[in-house]
Amino acid sequence: MGKLNVVILRYLSRDDFRVLTAVEMGMKNHEIVPVSLLSSIASLKHGGCNKILRELVKHKLVVYERTKAVQGYRLNYGGYDYLALKTLCSREVILSVGNQMGVGKESDIYIVASPNEEQYALKLHRLGRTSFRNLKNKRDYHQHRRNMSWLYLSRLSAMKEFAYMKALYDRGFPVPKPVDYNRHAVVMELINGYPLCQVHELQDPSALYSEFMDLIVKLANHGLIHGDFNEFNLMLDDQDHITMIDFPQMVSTSHPNAEWYFDRDVKCIKDFFAKRFNYESELFPTFKDIRRSFSLDVEVSASGFSKDLEKNGDLLHPAGPEEEEEDEEEGDNESTDDEAEQEEESLDMEEYKHAILELEGLKVCESHVNTEDQEEQKSNKTKEVINEVVSTAGGVGEMGKEFEEELQEVEDECPELMCLSASNKEFKPFWDSDGLQHIAEHRRKRTDSENTVGSTGSCSTIPPEVVRQKVRRQLTKQQKAAQRRRLQKGEANLVTKSRRENQNAIKSSVESASFWG
């Protein structure tokens, strides 16, 4: 939450920003990011992630935290500022950072210059200050998520303000011209004016009062309510022209508490003019005077408006003015990265094996062919057994009749066996027992075995170029995985540090035990 110091920004290398980005990515689902995860995300070419982390901690860009369960690093506002400024500089939006113009309860404002020597205002959102930590209950940035980082809330706040500012500027509202934004930083036009809270004299308070009221009604007719329309968020120039700033808390006129917010904005202007300029007027707008002509809240998705408003009427809105709401906590059903990686690796290995088989010209036989061969072998064996039994019967007529009856029973019970044997004879009419024996003896070799089963080969249907490309891709992935393991092994100083700490603890305990006897 300290001041912005951009001196070190010019001395940071590409690897430093790569590690900072890795910490930011790890904080999407980790409050404290472990070093092993940071090393894998950063994937530095020559390793040394822990050394860079120590330098970033020394410059107060990241914070090292160690608990009983885990030890790791988290990003603070200093590192987040550097990431945003680096991106804006790479886009050639800003070139230099000047003095600080003001400090608000949710942001800091600085003067910046572009490469064309144009001055802009840089607003850095810093939600989560000590005095304003009730913001999570008042804003609907995080909706139903349980745990939320202040950095992420600041990013959402900046994104909403830029969207409001751009939509209002395109429709002719008195707002600064938006230039660009990144993360929690918003670059806008620099206004030559003063906050209304610093103005003590006006030439025509009644005209300015009516102009303020007309602006509130104009916003409401477009479907928006400022929500914080007071003297701190309004600026006046030398000609008493109004400029409206600070939009993250805007709500829709469809909000359940829209009338209360509208009346509060009107009351703030009435009380300020009565207190500062001794001007009171009985003319002021009410919520019933609104004639909605545009749906600007639909375009910018203002607080209190949902896409299913016409169908269901369910609203995601912040807490009301004097009531407390209990939001139901919904668990985030997110699949872990490890499971996804295992599935991808298994699919890649299957593709790799299939590609190798296709390259060698092999083709796996289908399962139903194997089952038919097994049934054919079984039928031939049963037939041979029956024939042997019949031949051993000789000239005994009674035994022959019994065997013939048994043979007939077998044919009646299992007609499929006889059908298979008949079909085999039709397809192979020239194969008899003598011919099979002759062929087997002729082709018998010393390396052959009785249990070998031949496999039919076929040409590959996949072009060789595609097969080579798949194999090359798989080998490249394996090489990258091996390199990643080598880089992680290079962070061995963490193990050495833990061992040194354990040795010192053991040594101190032994010395204390010997001292006390």
Catalytic residues, by residue number, are: 228
CB burial string 23-35: b at 16+ within 10 A, e below: bbbbbeebebbeb
Here the tokens at position 388 are: 């042997």
90: buried, middle or exposed (CB in 10 Å: 19+, 13-18, 0-12)? exposed
Number of neighbouring beta carbons within 10 Å of residue 61: 26
Distance CA 140, CA 104 (A): 20
304: left (phi over 0), alpha (psi -120 to 50) or beta: left
Distance CA 158, CA 183 (A): 7
Per the listing, tokens 């404002």 go with 109
**In angstroms, what is the C-alpha Rg of the chain?**
40
Long-range contacts of 107-114 (CB under 8 A, 24+ apart): 108/3, 108/4, 110/4, 111/190, 112/187
Distance CA 161, CA 389 (A): 96
Residue type, 491: E
Q: Facing residues of 71 across strands?
A: 66
Q: Facing residues of 224 across strands?
A: 252
Distance CA 508, CA 502 (A): 10
Cα angle 142, 169, 152; round to 5:
20
Alpha-carbon distance values, 493 to 53, 488, 496 (Å): 13, 11, 5
Q: Calculate the dihedral angle through the C-alpha atoms of 335, 338, 340, 345, rounding to the nearest 10 degrees.
A: -170
* 481: helix, strand or coil: helix
Distance CA 117, CA 77 (A): 27
Instruction: Tell me the DSSP string of 310-375.
Output: TTT--------SS----PPP-------HHHHHHHHHHHHHHHHHHHHHHHHT--PPPHHHHHHHHH
Nearest to 244 by CA among 280, 216, 273: 216
